[in-house]
Amino acid sequence: MALAEDPRDHIRRRPLGQSALCLGTVLAGLVVIALVLNIVAGLLM
């Protein structure tokens, strides 16, 4: 019974988790891109 109830709760909580993960991945991606650009600029300079 517990296994049958968990997926329902997961689906209900999923939108908030996805939005948070999306924001986190976007911010992490921007940070990684900024670091890569800084490293490339440093090598070119």
Domain residue ranges in the chain? 7-44
Question: 3-state DSSP call for residue 2?
Answer: helix
- pLDDT tens digits, one per residue of 1-45: 455 556 556 556 666 677 878 888 999 999 999 999 999 999 998
Dihedral sign of CA atoms 32, 37, 40, 45 in order: negative
Distance CA 34, CA 29 (A): 9
pLDDT of residue 20: 79
In DSSP notation, 4-44 reads HHHHHHHHHHHHHHHHHHHHHHHHHHHHHHHHHHHHHHHHH
pLDDT of residue 23: 87
pLDDT of residue 1: 45
pTM (two decimals): 0.53
